[in-house]
Structure 1
Amino acid sequence: MKERIERLKKLTYIPHNEIAWLIEQAELAVKQQEIIEENKRQQDVTVHQFRQAQKDIQHLSGESRRYKKALEKIITNLNFAITVAQNELEGDAK
């Protein structure tokens, strides 16, 4: 490609096929730039979504820990209540 460009620079008259090649290359460069920009945009969106997902996971993990602790307290209280009730029933049975 570089050789063609250098050859074109030296020409005073540029043949039609060379002009067509230049136009084709320019159009290709524009398409490639558009693809690069779209890929960059998609990458930015993906990074944002990934970071948001990380925040959501951290939040949900915290909630999960809080619910687990609360459930453990409820279970402990229920076990205590069951024990008290059993003791009362055994006392009434005697």
Structure 2
Amino acid sequence: MKERIERLKKLTYIPQNEIAWLIEQAELSVKQQEIIEENKRQQEVTVHQFRQAQKDIQHLSGESSRYKQALEKIITNLNFAITVAQNELEGDAK
């Protein structure tokens, strides 16, 4: 293709078939540029979604940790309440 373009640059008169080829190449170039721009846009969207997913995962991990701590406190309190109840039952049984 480069050779053909260089040959055309040297001509003073460009035949109709060569003009058609140039137009076809220009249209192809425009389509390729549109595809490249669309791919860039999709890539930006994907990167944004990925970063948002990372933030969501960090947030959920933090929530999970807080829930786990709260549940551990509840279990500890329940175990204490069970122990107290068992002691009271044993005291009443004596």
**TM-score in terms of structure 2 length:** 0.97
CA RMSD of aligned residues (A): 0.6
> Counterparts of 1:12 and 1:62 in 2: how far apart (Å)?
72
CA drift of 1:13 comes to: 1.4
CA distance in 1, matches of 2:38, 2:67: 43
Structure 1 CA distance for aligned equivalents of residues 54 and 28 of structure 2: 39
- 1:73 shift after superposition: 0.3
Rounded to whole Å, the distance in 1 between the matches of 2:41 and 2:51 is 15
Identity of aligned residues (%): 95
| Residue matched to 2:73 | 73
The alpha carbon displacement at 1:70 in A equals 0.4
Per the TM alignment, residue 11 of structure 1 is displaced from its structure 2 partner at its CA by 1.2
Stretches of 4+ aligned residues off by more than 3 angstroms: none
Q: What is the CA-CA distance between 1:18 and the residue it aligns to?
A: 0.6
Residue 12 (structure 1) shift: 1.4
Q: CA deviation at 1:16?
A: 1.2
The CA deviation string for residues 39-85 of structure 1, in whole angstroms up to 9 with x for no partner, is 00010011011101101100110000000000000000000000100
Hey, what's the Cα distance between the residues in 2 that align with 1:51 and 1:10? Answer: 52
